Amino acid sequence: MLRNFFIFYAFAIVAILVIFGFRGQTFERPPIEIFPDMDHQSKYKPQAESSFFADGRTDRPVVSGAMPRIAETPERRALLTDDYLRTGFQDGEYGRGFPIEVSREVMDRGQDRYMVYCYSCHGGLGDGNGITKEYGMLATPTFHSERLREMPEGMIFETITHGRGTMMPYRAKLSVEDRWAVIAYVRALQKARLGSPDEVPGDKREELGL
């Protein structure tokens, strides 16, 4: 019994020394690597030298005349020169209205992107009752408050682009046009909440049971 105690005691001391005894200590020899994985892969590092290229640099300059793939057509390149379209600002202030034509195709795209990126927090009706509320995210606002109904479209665009509060930025996930399409769909949700049966076109009344 006493023998087992000493064995356990010695093991505990060794374990403590292994785990805590060498923390912060530097060694002159490299450590033993049992699983090196890709630690020593061949690669160029930024601003390093290379004997392969004539200028001796690893960093390669952009090819003259190259355009980002996001602007692959002349029409789209022209669109992306529109400051309001890209930033949401007009003359230094948040702009109102849409810099793109709001068509049925744009609305369908906005609904699709909304359901992918916005639904979980803002809910299908835009009332802030998404699934995340069940997990403690209680601060998601409703789009149907007066503040958000009156908010300029440019400010909504900037919020989607850069994020605000607990909302993360979506500029890496939503293209410029997709952000405006989502805003158009949000405006449709707001309009639907405030709309009356009298505003429904005649050919759609029977479909809605009116």
**Domain residue spans in the chain?**
103-196
Predicted TM-score of the model (pTM): 0.62
- Give me the pLDDT at residue 6, please: 72
- Which of 21-25, 36-40, 57-61 tops mean pLDDT? 57-61
Tell which CATH architecture fits domain 103-196. Orthogonal Bundle (1.10)
- The pLDDT value recorded for residue 70 is 58
Q: Which helix (H) or strand (E) holds 93?
A: strand 93-94
pLDDT at 67: 61
Whole-angstrom Cα distance, residue 76 to residue 16? 63
pLDDT in tens, 47-87: 899 988 899 999 888 888 766 665 556 666 666 667 889 89
